[in-house]
Amino acid sequence: MIAWLVIFLTLGYTLVLGLNLWIFIEHWQIIDAPPAIVHTVKFRILHCFGHLILTWGCTLEKLRICRMPSFCQFLHDLLPVQKDPNLVVTNLRFGTITVRLFQPKAVTCFPRRGIIYYHGGAAIIGSLDAYHNLCSFLAKKTDSVVLSVGYRKLPDYHYPVCSWDCLNATIHFLKTLKMYGVDPSRVVICGDSFGGGLVTFITQALVGRTDIPKVQAQILIYPVVQGINFQLPSYQQNKKVPFLIRDLMMCFYRYLSIDPCWEDALLTGACIPANMWEKYKKWLSSDNLPERFRNKNYKPEFLAPFNEAAYLETRHLFEIDNAPLLADDQVIAQVPEALIVTCEWDLLRDDGLLYKKRLEDQGVPVSWYHAEDGFHGCIILFDSKFFSFPCIEKVMTSVVKYLMER
C-alpha cells in the first residue's frame, strides 16, 4: 500500500513539474521581449510565472476545485506589505466598499492634498494589499492623504459593479474630506490600467455636480478607455509583449460577461455596426494618432462583415462606463486637467494617446509622459527590488512631479 502511494505521489509530482516546464518553455518562445526593455531575461521569467499562475487557475476552475480569479487573487495577495512608521494606515468601509486610508503622521497646520487611487488588474487581480506599497509611497513622497479603493471584483461581481463601487466611494470621500484633513481644492484622482479607465469614467460622471468639491486633476497610467477597436497600431505591434498580451486581454473580458466564442468578432470589428463606426471613428481611428506611432508594418483598420449576433452580445462595450473615450464633447470639455502616462511596449498605448487627443481637442490641459522602455503593468512591481525595472522609477517620478506641482 505504501509503495503504491509513493508511486502515485511520484507520478503526480512528475506530471505537475512537467506541465509547469512545458508552459514555461512554450511562453518563453512565443512572447516578444523588445531590447528597449532593460533586463529582458527577467522580463520573460516574470511573464512566464504569471502565465503559469493563470494556467493553473484555469485548470483548477475546470476541475471545479476553485475559480480562476480567486486562485490568482490569493497568490497575488501574498506579495509582502511594508509598514511605514511615518504613516497611519486605516482600513475602513464605505458601506459595502472596503477602502484603505494612508495619512502622514507629521503634524501640519494646513489640510493636505487628497489622492484617490483605483488599482488595475481588470477586475481579476489587484487589491488593497497588492497596491499598499505604492500608495504608501505616494502618501509619504507627496505628503498627501491617499485613499485606496478596494472595489468588488470577479468571480462574484461583474459589470458594472467596479465602476459604481469606485464612484460611490469617491462621492462619499469628497463629502467627508474635512474629517480626514484633506483640502477640498486639492483632490486628485489616479489609477492604472483598468483603474485608469475608472478614473476617466468617474471624472466624467462627476461633471456638473455642485454638491461635492470639484476634482482638481486626474492621473491616468496606461489607461484602458475603449474595448471596441482592437486593430490600433499598439494592438498589432505589442500583441505578444507582456505583461498584457492580446490573448490575456481577451481572457479579462469575463468581467463583462462576454463569451469567449465572440473573440474573433471583437478582434476583427465584426461586432461594430457600420453606422456606429462612422459615428465614432473620429475618436477611435488610428488617424488620430501621431504619425510616429504608426510604423511601417501597421495595417490600417478594416472591419470584417457585420455580425448582428456578435453586436447584440457585446453592445455594452459602447456604454460610456466601458468606453469613456466616446463621451460627448460637452462632457469631455468639463473634466479636470490630466497627466497621461503611456508606455511604448504596451498593448493599450494607443488608448492613452486617443484620450489625450480628445482632451486636448476640447481645451483640457494635458501633461504627457511616455516611457520609451515601459510596458503594461510595470508599476505593480514598484518596490519589488530584484524584479524592478528602470521604467518604473521614471513613471513614478513623473507622477510625483505632477502631484507636487498641484
Question: Which of 193, 234, 286, 398 is the catalytic position?
Answer: 193
| 63 in the same domain as 175 | no
Which helix (H) or strand (E) segment is 338 a member of? Answer: strand 337-345
Q: In one letter, which amino acid is 30?
A: I
| 228 in the same domain as 288 | yes
Task: Dump pLDDT digits (tens) for 97-139.
Answer: 999 999 999 988 899 999 999 999 999 999 999 999 999 999 9
Q: What is the pLDDT of residue 219?
A: 98
**Is 179 a residue whose pLDDT tops 50?**
yes
Helix then strand then coil, in percent of the chain rounded to 5, is 50, 15, 35
Lowest mean pLDDT across 46-55, 206-215, 219-228: 46-55
| 96 in the same domain as 49 | no
| 157 in the same domain as 124 | yes
Q: What is the pLDDT of residue 15?
A: 52
% of the chain surpassing 70 pLDDT: 93
**Residue found under cell 487581480:** 125
- Looking at 63-193, list the stretches that DSSP marks H as alpha helix, in order from N- to C-terminal side: 68-76, 132-142, 161-175
Lowest mean pLDDT across 31-35, 118-122, 306-310, 330-334: 31-35
pTM: 0.93
Q: How confident is the model at residue 9 (pLDDT cuts 50, 70, 90)?
A: very low
Mean pLDDT rounded to a whole number for the chain? 90
Q: What is the pLDDT of residue 5?
A: 47
Q: What is the pLDDT of residue 347?
A: 96
| 308 in the same domain as 288 | yes
User: Distance (Å, rounded) from C-alpha 223 to C-alpha 242?
Assistant: 16
Give the mean model confidence (pLDDT) for residues 85-91: 96
Among residues 57, 76, 95, which one ends one of the domains? 76
| 323 in the same domain as 223 | yes
DSSP of 139-171, one letter per residue? HHHHTEEEEEEE---TTT--TTHHHHHHHHHHH
321 is catalytic: no
| 390 in the same domain as 284 | yes
**Is 291 a residue whose pLDDT tops 80?**
yes
DSSP state of 245: -
Nearest residue to 347 via CA among 219, 203, 250, 264: 250
Give the mean model confidence (pLDDT) for residues 365-382: 95
Question: Which of 165, 346, 350, 351 is the catalytic position?
Answer: 346
Burial code (b: 16+ CB inside 10 Å, e: under 16) for 94-129 equals beebbbbbbbbeeeeeebbbbbbbbbbbbbbbbbbb
Q: What is the pLDDT of residue 297?
A: 76
User: Distance (Å, rounded) from C-alpha 341 to C-alpha 368?
Assistant: 6
346 is catalytic: yes
**Is 11 a residue whose pLDDT tops 70?**
no
User: Distance (Å, rounded) from C-alpha 166 to C-alpha 150?
Assistant: 8
Nearest residue to 197 via CA among 146, 133, 263, 126: 126
Which domain covers residue 72, as residue numbers? Answer: 2-76
| 186 in the same domain as 44 | no
DSSP state of 218: E
376 is catalytic: yes
Q: What is the pLDDT of residue 306?
A: 94
**Is 210 a residue whose pLDDT tops 70?**
yes
**Residue found under cell 508599476:** 379
| 30 in the same domain as 158 | no
Q: What is the grid cell recorded at 395?
A: 513613471
Q: What is the pLDDT of residue 8?
A: 45
Task: Dump pLDDT digits (tens) for 19-45.
Answer: 556 565 655 567 788 888 888 888 888
Nearest residue to 373 via CA among 7, 33, 16: 33
| 92 in the same domain as 71 | no
Domain of residue 397, CATH code: 3.40.50.1820
Among residues 50, 76, 102, which one ends one of the domains? 76
**Is 12 a residue whose pLDDT tops 60?**
no
The count of structural domains within the chain is 2
Among residues 76, 98, 131, which one ends one of the domains? 76
Give the mean model confidence (pLDDT) for residues 300-305: 85
Q: What is the pLDDT of residue 375?
A: 96
Give the mean model confidence (pLDDT) for residues 370-392: 90
% of the chain surpassing 90 pLDDT: 69
Nearest residue to 100 via CA among 74, 131, 123: 131
| 263 in the same domain as 219 | yes
| 48 in the same domain as 107 | no
Q: What is the pLDDT of residue 42?
A: 87
